[in-house]
Structure 1
């Protein structure tokens, strides 16, 4: 399995989890660095420049939410959060702060490995076919979307999107006007089928984040619309 030595930062205060993940991820070809608390995580992030962060929520000194917030101030790096918290609202908090996905403890290492592969794939590879991207640029009203560079500009100003946010936008644009169910979006963008209804909240939070960044009025969106009883669609108002 060729992974081109992607570097993963594993942040968890439980040494057993760090050791297990370091061993398993190294065995399938990743380079792994670890941190035992949030402050150490930020230091190692600056030194090692990883390609993805696996981030526990409950940690000493600075919890996972705080780390996620700090990372998002300067980086679009993929973040997968590990949470042992039972409350759905607590899980969603990480997504609202900018995490790309989450896995609930206790988790299967194979499940986490699959999520890592999926997030890395979707944050690096386009989901649009080349026939749709003619020229690589899409203009939708005040938005300019550069598919090749995976960049979005709003009224000429670049808007920072995470890789998963861009992949989600890309998918919706690829079939503008067509409604996608949350399960479809989760399968297409995140690469897995929801096992529980709460899994689709990942989609809802990412839609909310996209609207807050791209819409003129996020509470009354013009572009990313809710299709009642179905899911979401992208409405190209310039058509």
Structure 2
């Protein structure tokens, strides 16, 4: 095994799921990633993958394109449609049209077998940097938020930014991640205004990188899943096609 390159990620906080039916590929990859500090789960079938995803938070799936009970390209499309974790496809098919098909299905990256383990590790880190970009704090954004009201009422929800918590009118409470809190803070302060993806990226303190729009879309979709009765037909957090997103109700700052 070659020497592992250094990382600039908080790797211990990142959760990887390796899905491959070949044990001689799956297990060495798991060892490699654990040595790099990642929290790693493994699965040898699509069914096992779905079981793990239902019960554990996963940041990235390393997905074999040919599984005994599922096509990796189709599975990638399903994960993308469900706003699931980032995906790196592993495949023996090297034709350009196959790579295009994988990326069009929502894959964040694509690697052809056989591959160098260190190259996969580098690609994993690159994808995680992109997907974590909106989570990196910005001093300017923090200062602005600190001066602004930290409690807001909108629709049936009350947001408490100090506690990173949403409370519904019926009393149930939803805990927000750091990224969800930043995004919702932007929306409640600009209620009924369209906020572009670039503006969301800037106000959340993220560094612009390739693929950041997909990362913003993924994070907004996760936030929408907590806000909406039916995320497929959102009434609160709406998409302004080609422009960005908008909180479509009034927001009131609370003392």
Give the TM interval when normalised to the shorter protein.
0.5 to 0.7
How many residues align? The count is 216
Distance 1:141 1:50 in 2: 28
Distance 1:212 1:175 in 2: 20
CA RMSD of aligned residues (A): 5.0
- 2:190 is the counterpart of 1:176: yes
Q: Go from structure 1 to structure 2 and tell me whether the alpha carbon gap of 1:171 and 1:88 turns closer, same or farther (over 3 Å shift).
A: farther
* Contact map agreement 1:11 1:18 (CA 8 A) in 2: yes
- 2:253 is the counterpart of 1:234: no
Q: Unpaired runs of 5+ in structure 1? A: 92-101
Note the C-alpha offset of 1:159.
7.5
| Matched residue, 2:15 | 8
Kindly provide the CA deviation profile for residues 48-74 of structure 1, in whole angstroms up to 9, marking residues without a partner as x: x566442527433356749x87xx8xx
Note the C-alpha offset of 1:13.
1.4
Q: Of residues 114, 118, 124 in structure 2, which corresponds to 1:112?
A: 124
| Matched residue, 2:40 | 32
Kindly provide the CA deviation profile for residues 135-191 of structure 1, in whole angstroms up to 9, marking residues without a partner as x: 5x4322322223345443443354868848725633533652564333444574875
Query: Aligned ranges for residues 89-128 of structure 1 at < 5 Å?
Result: 90-91=105-106, 102-106=107-111, 109=120, 110-117=122-129, 119=131
Question: What TM-score does the superposition give when structure 1 sets the normalisation length?
Answer: 0.57
* Contact map agreement 2:159 2:167 (CA 8 A) in 1: yes
Q: Go from structure 1 to structure 2 and tell me whether the alpha carbon gap of 1:220 and 1:234 turns closer, same or farther (over 3 Å shift).
A: closer
Q: Go from structure 1 to structure 2 and tell me whether the alpha carbon gap of 1:6 and 1:52 turns closer, same or farther (over 3 Å shift).
A: same
SS of 2:108's equivalent? strand
| Matched residue, 2:93 | none
Q: Unpaired runs of 5+ in structure 2? A: 1-7, 90-98, 113-118
Q: Of residues 82, 87, 91 in structure 2, which corresponds to 1:81?
A: 87
Kindly provide the CA deviation profile for residues 10-49 of structure 1, in whole angstroms up to 9, marking residues without a partner as x: 22216576467545533442243422223344566799x5
| Matched residue, 2:180 | 166
Question: What TM-score does the superposition give when structure 2 sets the normalisation length?
Answer: 0.54
